[in-house]
């Protein structure tokens, strides 16, 4: 029987066995060019081609094997049979009777982090919605929406939540569900290597076989168009199967420079923002972590650190590690006090001086030398007033970013030459005079320490 007649019979079988929508969407767009021992199939785009190849090619071979003895060679092209500019997709495509298998190395790359679970996730106002939606998704077998998109800055718990979802589903289903967790940076690297080694099929088949797909840091897809094409293909396939999909990013969807088709599909899910960590999260984190480290932090110290302007867990963990190391070095792990904490913190955080006000400097310098602020700002030439004035000008120049003219304004209308003279005078004395050096260092310490104390009081009054 001629191949043309066999192909027509194949189309009739597809028409009888598929729904009308499936037939019109996937089979009807195909164009066929039949040669002596081969069949060339032309698809309008890569998406249709991939879907036909993965879902219907085995039936095409089955129908041909029923109707003829020698199976023809099937070639896939993207384009039209009437066009001379067609992209040849793949040569010598034959269906193997053996079931497709994936190397075990693929399974080892995408395992979940078992240490992340809902029971040890610290939540507060800033991340409560993300926490609740993540739990709800684990029980979403009868819900319509199974796509969750979490976004927020680094260190807010996105990786913790996405792994918690996978671990919870594993527990609920007794490890019967295939869960794949992958960072999109690794996704891009594997796509690139697979294309180079000509084994993209393995990776694609592996991802499509998942029940739950968890993709972390989706923003890494931005710079790879080919990876975005593969991602769209896999995303559409899994959405049709109504699988659970979870994605995280450091930006909102609208701020990601991704393909519009990816963005439109992500908008079909639940989008939740995770804000910077609030007081409750910081307090619980410090309390639990310090307890695990056998590090005795009292409530006043935890309150003080929790009120600092720390936006993520990494910074908070870093501060806790710094305090632990110094407390261990000074042998005071069990009796650390608030003054010790302030001294350590101002040493490591003193580069951020944007919140220091000139008035604060003037007030601390005036109290230090037991004069009034009016005396400090006066035109008096008495040494007891001139030296503190020069000291406060030098410190203001060091700790703030104000211009010379602005500093002159703050110190009673002094011109810029007087500001320069005062600063250079203290700078020279700092090298030659130990008293000036001691005063300067002590005042810097008091001012930086007061910055955190003032900030703490502000937060407490809110």
* CATH code of the domain covering residue 364: 1.10.1750.10
Q: What is the mean pLDDT of the chain?
A: 79
**Residues 331 and 365 reside in one and the same domain:** no
> Is residue 393 very low, low, confident or very high in pLDDT (cuts 50, 70, 90)?
very high
Instruction: Choose one of 349, 373, 393: the last residue of a domain.
Output: 349
**Residues 124 and 265 reside in one and the same domain:** yes
What is the pLDDT, as a whole number, of residue 450? 64
Structural domain tally of the chain? 4
Q: Per residue in 103-148, pLDDT tens? A: 444 444 557 788 888 888 988 888 899 999 988 888 875 455 688 8
Least confident of 26-30, 151-155, 219-223: 219-223
What is the pLDDT, as a whole number, of residue 97? 35
Q: Does the structure show a pLDDT above 50 at 268?
A: yes
> Rounded mean pLDDT of 83-92?
51
What is the pLDDT, as a whole number, of residue 85? 55
- CATH value at residue 284: 1.10.8
Largest CA distance in the chain: 116
> Rounded mean pLDDT of 284-306?
85
**Residues 117 and 213 reside in one and the same domain:** yes
For residue 99, tell me if it sits in a domain: no
> Is residue 378 very low, low, confident or very high in pLDDT (cuts 50, 70, 90)?
confident
> Is residue 389 very low, low, confident or very high in pLDDT (cuts 50, 70, 90)?
very high
- CATH value at residue 167: 3.40.50.300
**Residues 333 and 400 reside in one and the same domain:** no
> 427 or 79, which is more confident?
427
**Residues 261 and 114 reside in one and the same domain:** yes
> Is residue 457 very low, low, confident or very high in pLDDT (cuts 50, 70, 90)?
very low
Instruction: Choose one of 273, 289, 307: the last residue of a domain.
Output: 273
Instruction: Choose one of 273, 288, 313: the last residue of a domain.
Output: 273
For residue 118, tell me if it sits in a domain: yes
**Residues 131 and 269 reside in one and the same domain:** yes
What is the pLDDT, as a whole number, of residue 108? 45
For residue 102, tell me if it sits in a domain: no
**Residues 160 and 200 reside in one and the same domain:** yes
pTM of the model: 0.55
Least confident of 67-71, 231-235, 444-448: 67-71
For residue 103, tell me if it sits in a domain: no
**Residues 396 and 323 reside in one and the same domain:** no
Q: Per residue in 32-47, pLDDT tens? A: 888 777 788 888 887 7
What is the pLDDT, as a whole number, of residue 150? 92
**Residues 260 and 116 reside in one and the same domain:** yes
**Residues 223 and 115 reside in one and the same domain:** yes
Look up tokens 């840091």; give the residue: 217
**Residues 114 and 254 reside in one and the same domain:** yes
For residue 213, tell me if it sits in a domain: yes
> Rounded mean pLDDT of 13-17?
85
> In which domain, by residue range, is 19 found?
3-93
- CATH value at residue 30: 3.30.300.180
For residue 11, tell me if it sits in a domain: yes
Q: Does the structure show a pLDDT above 50 at 185?
A: yes
**Residues 128 and 219 reside in one and the same domain:** yes
For residue 327, tell me if it sits in a domain: yes
For residue 317, tell me if it sits in a domain: yes
Q: Does the structure show a pLDDT above 50 at 99?
A: no
> Is residue 391 very low, low, confident or very high in pLDDT (cuts 50, 70, 90)?
very high
What is the pLDDT, as a whole number, of residue 110? 59
Q: For a pLDDT cut of 70, what percent of the chain falls above it?
A: 84
What is the pLDDT, as a whole number, of residue 455? 39
């Amino acid at each position: 029987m001629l191949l043309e007649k066999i192909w027509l019979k194949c189309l009739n079988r597809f028409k009888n066995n598929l729904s009308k929508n499936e037939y019109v969407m996937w089979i009807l767009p195909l164009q066929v060019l039949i040669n002596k021992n081969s069949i060339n199939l032309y698809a309008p785009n890569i998406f249709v081609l991939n879907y036909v190849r993965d879902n219907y090619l085995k039936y095409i071979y089955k129908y041909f094997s029923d109707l003829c003895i020698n199976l023809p060679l099937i070639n896939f092209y993207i384009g039209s049979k009437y066009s001379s500019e067609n992209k040849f997709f793949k040569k010598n495509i034959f269906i193997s009777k053996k079931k497709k298998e994936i190397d075990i190395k693929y399974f080892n790359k995408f395992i979940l982090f078992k240490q992340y679970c809902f029971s040890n996730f610290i939540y507060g106002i800033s991340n409560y919605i993300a926490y609740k939606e993540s739990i709800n998704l684990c029980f979403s077998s009868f819900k319509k929406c199974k796509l969750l998109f979490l976004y927020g800055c680094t260190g807010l718990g996105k990786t913790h939540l996405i792994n918690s979802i996978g671990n919870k589903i594993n527990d609920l289903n007794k490890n019967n569900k295939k869960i794949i967790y992958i960072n999109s940076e690794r996704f891009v690297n594997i796509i690139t290597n697979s294309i180079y080694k000509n084994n993209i099929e393995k990776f694609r088949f592996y991802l499509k076989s998942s029940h739950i797909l968890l993709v972390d840091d989706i923003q890494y897809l931005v710079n790879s168009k080919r990876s975005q094409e593969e991602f769209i293909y896999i995303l559409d396939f899994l959405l049709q199967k109504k699988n659970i999909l979870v994605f995280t990013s450091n930006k909102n969807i609208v701020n990601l420079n991704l393909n519009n088709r990816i963005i439109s599909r992500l908008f079909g899910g639940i989008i939740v923002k995770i804000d910077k960590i609030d007081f409750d999260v910081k307090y619980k984190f410090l309390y639990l972590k310090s307890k695990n480290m056998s590090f005795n932090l009292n409530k006043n110290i935890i309150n003080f650190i929790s009120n600092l302007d720390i936006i993520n867990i990494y910074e908070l963990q870093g501060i806790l590690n710094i305090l632990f190391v110094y407390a261990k070095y000074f042998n005071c792990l069990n009796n650390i006090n608030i003054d010790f904490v302030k001294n350590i913190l101002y040493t490591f955080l003193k580069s951020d001086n944007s919140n220091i006000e000139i008035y604060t400097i003037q007030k601390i310098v005036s109290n230090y030398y037991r004069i009034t602020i009016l005396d400090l700002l006066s035109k008096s030439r008495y040494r007891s007033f001139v030296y503190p004035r020069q000291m406060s000008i030098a410190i203001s120049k060091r700790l703030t970013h104000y211009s010379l003219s602005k500093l002159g304004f703050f110190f009673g209308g002094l011109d810029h030459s007087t500001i320069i003279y005062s600063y250079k005078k203290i700078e020279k004395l700092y090298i030659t005079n130990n008293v000036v050096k001691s005063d300067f260092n002590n005042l810097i310490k008091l001012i930086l320490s007061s910055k955190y104390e003032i900030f703490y009081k502000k937060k407490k009054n809110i």
